[in-house]
Chain A
Amino acid sequence: MAHNHSNNRSDNKAEQEDLRKKLKKINDNIYEVPREGAMKIPGRIFVNEKLLKEIDTETIKQVMNAATLPGVLGYSIAMPDMHRGYGFSIGGVVASDAENGMISPGGVGFDINCGVRFLVTALRKEEVEKKINELLNEIYKLVPCGVGEGGEKISKEDLDEVMKKGAEWCVEKGYGYEEDLKHCESNGTIPGAKPEYVSPTARKRGVGQLGSLGAGNHFMEIQVVNKIFNKEIAQVFGIKEEGQICVMIHCGSRGLGHQVCSDYIREMQKADPVTFENLPDKDLVYAKTNSELAKQYICAMNSAANFAFANRHMIMVQIRKAFNKVFGVSEKDIKLVYDICHNMAKLEEHNIDGKMRKVYVHRKGATRSFPPGHPELPEEYQKTGQPIMIPGSMGTASYVLVGTEDAMKQSFGSTAHGAGRLMSRHEANQRFRGEQIKKELEVQKIYVKAASWKGVSEEAPKAYKDVDEVVKVSDAAGIGNLVVRVVPLGVVKG
């Protein structure tokens, strides 16, 4: 029986070389994957030479596979943090015609509307550093983290309302403020959510999890503004000076979203078993956009997305409380800058070959990057463009970027979503020890509070790509421009 199975099926050097040779360099930050075989469109990957070396060929094959699906338009795109996913690559952006295209749960990902919420405070590093452990303990107490830790117990009727209204439900119930809503992608409520298309099993998984962080790569981070690249835009985002304290929340729709994805993968498989068996990769399974099943999935996906908005909103409310308790600051003074989705499919209008077309843009581990003047953005950000948050790995910097016109032209208004994994969790676990990482981070004055040591070692900074390089490519390619770099002071992990 095979024991020496390689981590990476495409480690085959010759094959790797072959595929790499096919790539056509467009410029220092963009490579094209030419059309071949069943590909309907070419691929485009946003990487520089350094990042390209780290990409396994399986990921490039996934970009090519996505290009074979019905109704795909423009390019099958992958972001600088691309890595191997199932079916579609992580960091993948695929747009499909709204009428004659497809929608794929695998192109969205299991964690529907996994995303990032970013808050700014008026506090300074010096004040917060003194009480950082007290703050982390307070947050840890207020926000359920890790395995077996549920969230707000809500009724079945309330769960329906959460799925319909998202963050708006929270504000209606007295959690947070009206102005929080316009600082969320889609105002914190995706329209067209129909909870009746969410299965009883998915509901069962979601009902006890609202306002909980979960485990894995999800985190809450207390951050310090470390460098401002664009003062004018930073100012509009509420970031005034280096040393200012910010908060980043990274999580999604928990078990509810995972189950919605899984349910519809199976439904789509059952609906068309012949197409399913012939897919180059089973997790590419899709439904044609004009089918009843596609409509049902979209309604269910939007419901899960709203659950995720509400989830991040409830976590934010608890973090505000923790800041109020430890530092006496008013909860209202902890301002929500923006909340973005990075696992989502959305109906948008894009200019494709000179024609405005309605498309479903699948962003799986990619962030929307809308330019100044876009009607989807709130008044405050009309002149700047959309705030984009790119979290780094634990212990490394994170970035705030801004959306651009170039992203609309090149990447269906999208950019990267994070650092991107380099090493499997299993390997990270064998190579690093959680306690040791915590100690090393403390030397750098980064404090970690985690539900488990294994959770820390799996998320070891060295298990990820260099986030600095990822945002460098985004900025240089013009698909998301640098505004601010923040560095961690305290991390709470599941």
Chain B
Amino acid sequence: MIDYELIGHTADAEFRAYGKTLEEAFKNSAKAMYAVLIDPKEIKSKITHKIHVESENRQALLYDFLEEFIVLMDVEGFMLHDLEVHIDEKNGGRLEIDAVVTGDVNTNYKISGDIKAVTYNDMKIEEKKGIWMCQVVVDI
């Protein structure tokens, strides 16, 4: 199983991320989004951030979770190296995600491009034969 793949999209960037659990697929989604700009393997692990998001359903959770990274990128110049993800299902279908993310600031690397926003365009979160897949288009 590959972690993620980038797919062409006329105006934007699209990716599919995979995992044996929903948590792993979310983790790989964050990596895939960063991979649109630079392979997370190239980023050093110097800074740690904690992310906490609560949303009303799975797709909203993925949207809000990825948006946290876009804000971190814009405000702190944060680039992702790796992360740990924990998802909790609450009563009434609400979901909570807690993540510990490590990485570095973008000024230490040659990075081009910007991610403007997450979109709902063609967003999919599916489980087939024990493999979770998240498909997302981001606006760049």
Contacts and interface: CB of A to CB of B under 8 A. Distances in A.
A265 B120 contact: yes
A451 B113 CA distance: 9
A265 B64 CA distance: 11
A217 to B, nearest CB: 9
Given A110-B139, A147-B113, A266 B63 contact: yes
A458 B113 contact: yes
B110 to A, nearest CB: 6
Contacts of B118: 262
Contacts of A111: 116
A258 B117 contact: yes
Contact of A83 (B6, B11, B119): B11
A423 interface: yes
A214 B11 CA distance: 17
Interface string B126-140: 000001010001011
A9 B117 CA distance: 22
B71 A281 contact: no
A387 B140 CA distance: 28
A327 interface: no
Contacts of A8: 10
Interface string B1-17: 11001111111110010
B10 A421 contact: yes
Interface string A210-251: 000011100000000000000000000000000000000000
A87 B121 contact: yes
Interface in A88-127: 90, 110-111
A110 B64 contact: no
B89 interface: no
Given A1-B18, A204-B71, A261 B113 contact: no
A266 B37 CA distance: 25
Contacts of B139: 86, 110, 258
A146 B114 CA distance: 8
A147 B112 contact: yes
Given A205-B74, A266-B64, A421-B10, A283 B111 contact: no
Nearest to A215: B114
A425 interface: yes
A442 to B, nearest CB: 20
B107 interface: yes
Given A147-B112, A266-B64, A255 B74 contact: yes
Contact of A426 (B1, B6, B131): B6
A424 interface: yes
A307 B1 CA distance: 45
A148 B111 contact: yes
A454 interface: yes
Contacts of B67: 262
Contacts of B75: 204-205, 208, 255
Contacts of B8: 7, 423-424, 426-427
A424 B139 CA distance: 12
Contacts of B120: 86-87, 265, 281-283, 285
Interface centre among A5, A265, A425, A455 (most CB of B within 10 A): A425
Given A216-B114, A266-B60, A148 B9 contact: no
A186 interface: no
Nearest to A204: B75
B123 interface: yes
A426 B117 contact: no
From A262, A451, A453, residue with most partner B Cβ within 10 Å: A262
Interface of A: 1-3, 5, 7-9, 56, 83-87, 90, 110-111, 146-148, 201, 204-205, 208-209, 214-216, 255, 258-259, 261-262, 265-266, 269-270, 273, 281-283, 285, 421-427, 451-455, 458, 494
Interface of B: 1-2, 5-13, 16, 18, 36-37, 56, 60, 63-64, 67, 70-71, 74-75, 77, 105-107, 110-114, 116-123, 131, 133, 137, 139-140
